Amino acid sequence: MRQSRKLSPRNGGVKPKEMRIISDSSEMQTLANRIRETDLLIGFVPTMGYLHEGHGSLIRGARQQSDIVVLSIFVNPTQFGPAEDLDKYPRDMERDKEIAREAGTDYIFYPEARDIYTSEFQTYVNVEKITKSHCGVSRPTHFRGVATVCTKLFNIVLPHWAFFGQKDYQQCAVIRRMVKDLNMNLEIIVLPTVREADGLAMSSRNVYLTPEERKQATCLYESLQLAKNMVRAGRTDARTILMAMREHIKRKPLASIDYVSIADTDTLQELETIRTEAVALLAVYFGKTRLIDNEILRVM
């Protein structure tokens, strides 16, 4: 999977004078159709809100290469399992508006759940093999929700390209697979993970961490760096690298490993030996908070 790319400036990052919020999906789709008729290029950033610098970098990426930037804020119920944090997912629309405006958003699409999922709703998008491993093990219906909502959002916003963060690596792989398999008429662009100063990947869920958990959570990034350095130093057997990663994480008493994996960058199939490149992926619980991260490993 192509990780990230140099953006070709079109708009050059010039910010719009004003930003509009649209909550009706028909209105958004009509507007997107009208924009398309004028040959302007639409860049789209789908999010669940509670924006941080990771989202900001996607908006700025979209701003660089699109005429019109649409950001969606929608806490998508179908991607949450029954025991997950849908109801307490953090929200702050006023702050989100500021960050979105500052990063150069033209339109925020901010629908209500009953608009996206009407009472008659019964159609889901199921990407098969690639959704079963990794996060799909502990979150068996998650990617069905993600694929379904992205399909709907793509059909409403009609983007020429949609921007996703590498932080959610499996999500990117699933969406790319879906776009190819269903001949969807847009390009998926993946931009690098934005991190806190100590390496922790920015995430809306980091607010759930207690101060002590937050301190120990750097073990995700550290173990990925450990893997990267081992591969740089010539180790290519995944089992040894995984063992070192696990040991590093286990040193943190509050961390509980969901999975640590070294996999093919496209298919996410587990690898025994790293030939040219691979992706190291992990998910670690701190209490009920589940953090994910990943890093590309390249043989020098």
Residue 279 binds to ligand AMP (criterion: CB under 6 A): no
Span interacting with ligand AMP, options 30-38, 106-114, 165-173, 252-260, rule CB under 6 A? 165-173
Using alpha carbons, list the distances in angstroms from residue 230 to 195, 237, 291.
Answer: 22, 10, 23
Span interacting with ligand AMP, options 117-125, 162-170, 247-255, 279-287, rule CB under 6 A? 162-170
How far apart are CB 153 and ligand AMP at their closest, in Å? 11
Residue 109 binds to ligand AMP (criterion: CB under 6 A): no
Mark residue 155 as left, alpha or beta (left: phi above 0; alpha: psi -120 to 50; beta: remaining). Answer: alpha
Residue 193 binds to ligand AMP (criterion: CB under 6 A): yes
How far apart are CB 200 and ligand AMP at their closest, in Å? 9
Residue 194 binds to ligand AMP (criterion: CB under 6 A): yes
**Cβ distance to ligand AMP smaller for residue 135 or 271:** 135
**Cβ distance to ligand AMP smaller for residue 142 or 252:** 142
Span interacting with ligand AMP, options 49-57, 130-138, 215-223, 254-262, rule CB under 6 A? 49-57
How far apart are CB 289 and ligand AMP at their closest, in Å? 13
Residue count, binding to ligand AMP (CB under 6 A):
16
Residue 55 binds to ligand AMP (criterion: CB under 6 A): yes
**Cβ distance to ligand AMP smaller for residue 85 or 270:** 85
Residue 224 binds to ligand AMP (criterion: CB under 6 A): no
Burial 8-28 (b: 16+ CB within 10 A, else e): eeebeeebeeebeebeebeeb
Q: Of 203, 216, 236, 261, which one interacts with ligand AMP (CB under 6 A)?
A: 203
Residue in 52, 55, 134, 142 annotated catalytic = 55
How far apart are CB 94 and ligand AMP at their closest, in Å? 17
Residue reference for tokens 């150069």: 104
Whether 134 sits among the annotated catalytic residues: the reply is no
Question: What's the burial of 6, exposed, middle or buried (CB within 10 Å: 0-12/13-18/19+)?
Answer: exposed
Residue 165 binds to ligand AMP (criterion: CB under 6 A): yes
Q: Of 202, 238, 263, 271, which one interacts with ligand AMP (CB under 6 A)?
A: 202
How far apart are CB 71 and ligand AMP at their closest, in Å? 10
Q: Of 106, 168, 213, 222, which one interacts with ligand AMP (CB under 6 A)?
A: 168
Span interacting with ligand AMP, options 26-34, 106-114, 135-143, 200-208, rule CB under 6 A? 200-208
- Could you write out the DSSP letters of every residue in the chain? -----PPPPSSTTPPPS--EEE--HHHHHHHHHHHHHTTPPEEEEEE-SS--HHHHHHHHHHHHH-SEEEEEE---GGGS-TTSSTTT----HHHHHHHHHHHT-SEEE---HHHHS-TT--------GGGTSTHHHH-TTHHHHHHHHHHHHHHHH--SEEEEETTSHHHHHHHHHHHHHTT-SSEEEEEPPPB-TTSPBP-GGGGGS-HHHHHHTHHHHHHHHHHHHHHHTT--BHHHHHHHHHHHHHTSTTEEEEEEEEE-TTT--B-SB-SSEEEEEEEEEETTEEEEEEEEEE--
Binding residues for ligand AMP, rule: CB under 6 A, are 47-48, 54-55, 57-58, 164-165, 167-168, 193-194, 201-204
So which residues are the catalytic ones? 55
